[in-house]
Amino acid sequence: MSAETQAPAAETSNGAVAVARAAVVSWKAPIAFGVFALLALVLFVLNPRAEAETGFRLSTGRDFIQIPDLIVPAFVTGVIVTIALFAIALWSAILVRQRRKTPLWVVIVFAVLFMVGFLAWAAAGETVPVPGLLIGTVSLSVPLIFGAMAGVISERGGVVNIAIEGQLLSGAFTSALIASVTNNPYLGLLGAAIAGLLVSFVLGAFAVKYFVDQIIVGVVLNVLVIGLTSFLYSKVLQADAATLNSPERFARIDIPVLSGIPIIGPVLFSQTIIVYVMYVAVAVIAFALFKTRWGLRLRSVGEHPTAADTVGINVAATRFWNVSLGGAIAGFGGAYFTLGSVGAFQKEMTAGMGFIALAAVIFGKWHPVKATLAALLFGFATNLKNVLGVIGSPVPSEFMLMLPYIVTVFAVAGLVGVSRAPAADGKPYIKS
Amino acid sequence: MRNSMRRFAIGGAAAIGTSVLVLTGCAAPPETDGNGNGNGETSNPDFIPCMVSDTGGFDDKSFNQLGYEGLTEAAQEIGATPNTVQSNAETDYASNISNLVDQGCNLIVTVGFLLAEATVAGAEANPDVEFTIIDDFADLNGDGKPDSDNIKPIVFDTAQAAFLAGYAAASYSKTGVVGTYGGIAIPPVTIFMDGFVQGVEYYNAQKGTSVRALGWDVAAQNGSFTGGFEAGIESKSLAQSLIDQNADVILPVGGPIFTSAVEAIRDSGKDIAMIGVDADLYETYPEGKDLFLTSILKGMKVGVHDVVIQASKGEFDSTPFVGTLDNDGVGIAPFHDFESKVDSKLADELDQVRKGIIDGSIEVTSPSSPKQ
């Protein structure tokens, strides 16, 4: 991915290509590969586990097609994986010497191979529930993805949205309350979106109309929403939890045929309606941002508001309403915490996920699909921690808790390459 | 013209946004005052007992709530008005304590291991105020006694009770796998996990079975944690990981995180039991009462109550209170709905184990156990 900055160069004339290439040859990918391959050598080959075999469970009990567990010899797998990792690192180095970029699929193959080797090593003597690992990944990623979509829309329009955390939390609170009172989870979803919208109205008003520092407004809003929801939870919801904080949860909906596919089926197509809405939302946002008039206008006010203003686009209104749209999306995603997952609202139940969503936006280069992948990577790292903690990994639990954050830092630092924000991101547009 | 209309619309929408937020804030009912009705000889209305929660808050359905109930009951008996404050962040501990000192508190109860440093600092700075800390020895300098003479630690050897729960879980489990997970890896949490896993091992040694206890390795002091005491998807997915490993008894340790485990069990549709901690969750969390095999009880309510009464009579001392099976400071709850599902001999066996632990013939060793 690091070499992706070359892409625009390839479209320009020949002369420009040569210059651009000379400037962006990057050794990041092979160096990162080399580091991980060395890590693999140290862990899998030089520190083998006492247990001989590792199992990979591929089916859940509910699956239509049952695949038997895959049992692999732990040490041999480790050795093969390590050799393959070194081979990829070497190949990537050769590609860089030839001034060619390392394709994205190589990065993915490398990551998957490393993960297989790591699991075979860490879970030796145990069975890794592969569908469980992936189902947990999706459920931990859903709020991150909604939050990241809110961030992408808002920041593409030039307003930094630190308040994602507050928007998620307000959505979680409102959806639980409304769904409990009305006994209708769909109204809860609507309420969640409205709650997120109201939070972003405040952000939009201060950031767009009054030119207040967007980061400060966002931080203040987060603290405000945490305080407000915790207060209302203690004083109102707790007083009568049976009527105010016991929402009906959405049931899982199995998509016919698709949910029967081994591994992928139960992971992607046996989910609640919130997750299906998320699939649609990511696709629609990815399309609309780059192919519609709305997307073009949004990006123009984020990149060069003066130019946009000159051609007659109302910069303030465009920014305000798109920040609001982002807030509504994040609020909707907040409903996943309650209606989609655990039912009742709990204090501070978003536990910082809004900030991780913000990291996913940057990691995903302000692109809806890449931000989604970043969020999934983060969810995977978190759930890997869970699974390995349960089956008793040789890695200390404190380190396992850092794992998701380490993955993020590595990914952002090592693999993303240059991450460029929209040019006017965070800058108020003051019309002269 | 058009432009100014738009601006007005934006400002107006924002105003609505803020006012709705503010209005909902106002809708909360006023705080009810726990006015004591001084009864009998223990009455001492001038005494001000106070309490600082940790970040869980007084409505966490377990740890803080029990301490709070103990305080309010004692305050009612002596006819005093308690002064309590919740901490919203770790940075609040020290300032909350000094605020209570300024309010003229005679006794300040700090709930939790995490407040140890703030409590010791507060006690050293205010030698006239009495302090009680739950779940910590307040021994930061490591000399084997509380750092200040005006601190009374209330601690529990919860491993003993968790040992019984582990034994019961191993006996009940049909899949031969039981599991535990915690909030944060701190001694008051891991002590449950130590006892639980040892109880399972003891059952195996007695019965020649091989029930596995997942999620905690006593020797390595390493296991699975959510990284916080908030209920939510993290806790749920961790419980789900245990279910994926076929565990049919789950012990979540850490304030409200068990509520997410309840949802994970409901989602799985499997026949899985839970073990509660601190209070008898069958009673305090009726939404999930059909799932609780038993609960590991920690006599925080009684402990706090007794200390407050003592202090109000001017009999405060800094001798630590250590709750054990022997003095009923810790224990396990009845099986309730599971009475008919557990082995008929289990109750008698647990009685034997209990006696064994009390007389020392069965050893429960946790590095987190309070030093006697």
The domain that holds B70 is classified in CATH as: 3.40.50.2300
- Is the model more confident about A17 or about A220? A220
Nearest chain B residue to A343 by CA distance is B263
Summarize chain B as % helix, strand, coil (round to 5): 45, 15, 40
Same domain (yes/no): B63, B182: no
Among the ranges given (A324-333, A410-419, B75-84), the one the predictor scored with the smallest mean pLDDT: A410-419
Q: Is A327 helix (H, G, I), strand (E, B) or coil?
A: helix
Q: Across residues B32-40, what is the average pLDDT? A: 40
Instruction: Count how many Cα atoms sit within 13 Å of the Cα of residue A100 in the half-sphere of its side chain.
Output: 8
Q: Across residues A279-301, what is the average pLDDT? A: 96
Q: Across residues A348-366, what is the average pLDDT? A: 89
> What confidence score (pLDDT) does residue A239 get?
85
> What confidence score (pLDDT) does residue B262 get?
93
Mean pLDDT of chain A: 87
Same domain (yes/no): B124, B205: no
Q: Across residues A301-328, what is the average pLDDT? A: 94
Query: Is the Cβ pair A351, B234 closer than 8 Å?
Result: yes
Give the pairing type, strands A53-57 and A127-129: parallel
Confidence of residue B136 (pLDDT cuts 50, 70, 90): confident
Q: Is A239 helix (H, G, I), strand (E, B) or coil?
A: helix
Rounded to whole angstroms, the Cα distance separating A392 from A395 reads: 8
> What confidence score (pLDDT) does residue A103 get?
82
| B residues 208-267 closer than 8 Å to A (CB) | 214-215, 217, 222-225, 227-228, 230-238, 240-242, 244-245, 256, 259-260, 263
Nearest chain A residue to B243 by CA distance is A132
Q: Is the pLDDT of residue B93 over 70?
A: yes
Confidence of residue A15 (pLDDT cuts 50, 70, 90): very low
Q: Is the pLDDT of residue B249 over 80?
A: yes
Nearest chain B residue to A402 by CA distance is B227
- Is the model more confident about A406 or about B195? B195
Mean pLDDT of chain B: 85
> Tokens at residue B32, please?
């009810």
Selected residue of B1, B8, B10, B253 to mutate for chain A interface (largest A Cβ count, 10 A): B10
Selected residue of A134, A178, A347, A350 to mutate for chain B interface (largest B Cβ count, 10 A): A347
Confidence of residue B30 (pLDDT cuts 50, 70, 90): very low
> What confidence score (pLDDT) does residue B37 get?
40
Query: Is the Cβ pair B263, A343 closer than 8 Å?
Result: yes
Residue where a domain stops, chosen among B104, B123, B156: B156
Same domain (yes/no): B228, B121: no
Please answer whether residues A318 and A154 qualify as being in contact, where contact means their C-beta atoms are separated by less than 8 angstroms. no
Confidence of residue A11 (pLDDT cuts 50, 70, 90): very low
Domain assignment present for residue B14? The answer is no
Same domain (yes/no): B173, B120: no
Domain borders along chain A are 25-125, 131-373
Confidence of residue A314 (pLDDT cuts 50, 70, 90): very high
DSSP A95-150: HHHTT-PPPHHHHHHHHHHHHHHHHHHHTTTSEEEHHHHHHHHHHHHHHHHHHHHH
- Is the model more confident about B241 or about A28? B241
- Bridge-partner residues for B111, per DSSP? B134
Closest-CA distance, A201 to chain B, in angstroms, reads: 5
Confidence of residue A418 (pLDDT cuts 50, 70, 90): low
Among the ranges given (A134-148, B71-85, B142-156), the one the predictor scored with the smallest mean pLDDT: B142-156
Confidence of residue B350 (pLDDT cuts 50, 70, 90): very high
Confidence of residue B358 (pLDDT cuts 50, 70, 90): very high
Q: Is A254 helix (H, G, I), strand (E, B) or coil?
A: strand
Q: What is the CA radius of gyration of chain B?
A: 23
Q: Across residues B174-189, what is the average pLDDT? A: 93
Q: Is A269 helix (H, G, I), strand (E, B) or coil?
A: coil
Same domain (yes/no): B190, B285: yes
Nearest chain A residue to B265 by CA distance is A342
Rounded to whole angstroms, the Cα distance separating A372 from A330 reads: 14
Residues in A closer than 8 angstroms to B17, CB to CB, are 197-199, 201-202, 205
Q: Is the pLDDT of residue B200 over 60?
A: yes
Same domain (yes/no): B94, B107: yes
pLDDT digits (tens, 9 = 90+) for A81-92: 999 999 999 998
Segment B39-45 long-range contacts (CB within 8 Å, at least 24 positions apart): B39/B77, B39/B79, B40/B77, B42/B77, B42/B78, B42/B309, B42/B312, B42/B313, B43/B78, B43/B79, B44/B78, B44/B79, B44/B80, B44/B312, B44/B313, B45/B78, B45/B79, B45/B80, B45/B81
Rounded to whole angstroms, the Cα distance separating B186 from B113 reads: 8
Closest-CA distance, B90 to chain A, in angstroms, reads: 14
Residues in B closer than 8 angstroms to A230, CB to CB, are 57, 88
Q: Across residues B109-126, what is the average pLDDT? A: 91
Report the residue from A350, A390, A397 with minimal CB separation from B241: A390
Confidence of residue A24 (pLDDT cuts 50, 70, 90): low
Nearest to B71, CA basis, from B116, B105, B103, B99: B105
Query: Is the Cβ pair B227, A246 closer than 8 Å?
Result: no
Q: Across residues B111-119, what is the average pLDDT? A: 90
Residue where a domain stops, chosen among B109, B136, B156: B156
> What confidence score (pLDDT) does residue B84 get?
92
Please answer whether residues B146 and B153 qualify as being in contact, where contact means their C-beta atoms are separated by less than 8 angstroms. yes
Its pTM stands at: 0.83
Closest-CA distance, B158 to chain A, in angstroms, reads: 22
Closest-CA distance, A359 to chain B, in angstroms, reads: 18
> Tokens at residue A239, please?
């007083």
Same domain (yes/no): B202, B246: yes
Report the residue from B25, B58, B233 with minimal CB separation from A337: B233
Same domain (yes/no): B127, B263: no
Nearest chain B residue to A128 by CA distance is B245
Q: Is the pLDDT of residue A412 over 50?
A: yes
> What confidence score (pLDDT) does residue A124 get?
85
Confidence of residue B20 (pLDDT cuts 50, 70, 90): very low
> What confidence score (pLDDT) does residue A411 get?
66
| B residues 166-185 closer than 8 Å to A (CB) | 179, 181, 185
Query: Is the Cβ pair B230, A382 closer than 8 Å?
Result: no
- Complex prediction ipTM: 0.82
Residues in B closer than 8 angstroms to A328, CB to CB, are none
Nearest chain B residue to A141 by CA distance is B233
Among the ranges given (A281-295, A310-324, B357-371), the one the predictor scored with the smallest mean pLDDT: B357-371
| B residues 82-101 closer than 8 Å to A (CB) | 86, 88
End-to-end CA distance of chain A: 40
Q: Domain of B78?
A: 49-156
What is the tally of structural domains in chain B? 2
pLDDT digits (tens, 9 = 90+) for B215-238: 999 988 889 999 888 888 989 999
> What confidence score (pLDDT) does residue A307 get?
94
Nearest to B335, CA basis, from B271, B289, B266, B270: B289
Domain assignment present for residue B286? The answer is yes
- Is the model more confident about A393 or about B290? B290
- Bridge-partner residues for B217, per DSSP? B222
Same domain (yes/no): B220, B230: yes
> What confidence score (pLDDT) does residue A126 get?
85
Q: Is the pLDDT of residue A152 over 90?
A: yes
Same domain (yes/no): B79, B57: yes
Rounded to whole angstroms, the Cα distance separating A102 from A133 reads: 29
| B residues 322-351 closer than 8 Å to A (CB) | none
> What confidence score (pLDDT) does residue B42 get?
64
Same domain (yes/no): B187, B126: no
> What confidence score (pLDDT) does residue B256 get?
84
Rounded to whole angstroms, the Cα distance separating B244 from A131 reads: 9
Nearest chain A residue to B230 by CA distance is A349
Closest-CA distance, B316 to chain A, in angstroms, reads: 32
Q: Is B43 helix (H, G, I), strand (E, B) or coil?
A: coil
> What confidence score (pLDDT) does residue A419 get?
67
Q: Is the pLDDT of residue A405 over 70?
A: yes
Rounded to whole angstroms, the Cα distance separating A322 from A154 reads: 6
> What confidence score (pLDDT) does residue B178 get?
96
Among the ranges given (A119-123, A270-274, A337-341), the one the predictor scored with the smallest mean pLDDT: A119-123
Residue where a domain stops, chosen among B128, B156, B184: B156
Q: Across residues A48-52, what is the average pLDDT? A: 81
Q: Is B273 helix (H, G, I), strand (E, B) or coil?
A: strand
Query: Is the Cβ pair A201, B18 closer than 8 Å?
Result: yes
Rounded to whole angstroms, the Cα distance separating A188 from A421 reads: 34
Confidence of residue B8 (pLDDT cuts 50, 70, 90): very low
**Length of chain A measured in residues:** 432
Query: Is the Cβ pair A208, B10 closer than 8 Å?
Result: yes
Residues in A closer than 8 angstroms to B260, CB to CB, are 341-342
- Is the model more confident about A52 or about A209? A209
CB of B18 less than 8 A from some CB of A: yes
Selected residue of B237, B240, B253, B257 to mutate for chain A interface (largest A Cβ count, 10 A): B237
Same domain (yes/no): B211, B246: yes
Three-state SS annotation for chain B: CHHHHHHHHHHHHHHHHHHHHHHHHHCCCCCCCCCCCCCCCCCCCCCCEEEECCCCCCCCCCHHHHHHHHHHHHHHHHCCCCEEECCCCCCHHHHHHHHHHHCCCCEEEEECHHHHHHHHHHHHHCCCCEEEEECCCCCCCCCCCCCCCCEEEEEECHHHHHHHHHHHHHHHCCCCEEEEEECCCCHHHHHHHHHHHHHHHHHHHHHCCCCEEECEECCCCEECECCCCCCCHHHHHHHHHHHHCCCCEEEEECHHHHHHHHHHHHHHCCCCEEEEEECCHHHHCHHHHHHEEEEEEECHHHHHHHHHHHHHCCCCCCCCEEECCCCCCEEECCCHHHCCCCCCCHHHHHHHHHHHHHHCCCCCCCCCCCCC
Task: Determine what percent of chain A is predicted with pLDDT higher than 90.
Answer: 50
